[in-house]
Amino acid sequence: MDGGNGQRVATFYFQAGVSAAETLVLVQKAYGNEALNRSNIFRWYSRFREGKELVEDNEGGGLPKSIRAEVNIAAVADLVKNDLRIASRMIECLNIPKTVVLRILKEDMGKRKMCARFVPHSLTPEQREDRVTCCQDIIAMADAYNFF
């Protein structure tokens, strides 16, 4: 039983004058393992007693969806581009929460924080070649001098 149907069943029993405990027993008898859990039924009953009989969830809560808008992403990118050592809490001057700033940096810009700098997560081809060359030199040196 999904949440919407379960809430409708609970609404029906509430309006019929059946208690929350009796509703729980009836729903468990009718639906077995797929029955709603006790906390949901009692939570809905308390909402019904407050006069909230709508089946839909209340809107609100959480961050507005526009917080990660292209304008904010561009503003964060501009600040990081001008100063790679900028602290994420200094970016909050844009009135964007720190968690959203960090998500923009990681997911939208592909950066992560390393040694107090925001750097690209992937290496350029030249950087990869440099790493391979350095590693080969270390291996050759270790083989030549029998360090290991």
The string of pLDDT tens digits covering residues 127-136 is: 889 989 999 9
Tokens for 97, please give them: 């929460």
Query: In this structure, are residues 101 and 136 in contact, taking their beta carbons and an 8 Å threshold?
Result: no
Provide the 8-state DSSP code for 34.
G
Query: In this structure, are residues 94 and 75 in contact, taking their beta carbons and an 8 Å threshold?
Result: yes
Classify each residue of 26-40 as buried b or exposed e, where b means 16 or more C-beta atoms within 10 Å of its C-beta. ebbeeeeeebbeeeb
Q: 3-class SS at 19? A: coil
Tokens for 119, please give them: 């750097």
| Tens of pLDDT, residues 4-62 | 677 788 888 888 889 988 988 888 888 887 777 888 888 888 888 887 766 555 555 55
| Tens of pLDDT, residues 53-103 | 665 555 555 555 556 678 888 888 888 878 777 776 677 677 777 788 888
Q: 3-class SS at 121? A: coil
Task: Output phi, psi for 61, to 5 deg.
Answer: 70, 155
CA distance 121 to 35: 46
* Helical spans, DSSP H, in the chain: 3-15, 20-31, 38-49, 70-82, 88-91, 98-103, 125-145
Q: Output the pLDDT for position 120.
A: 60
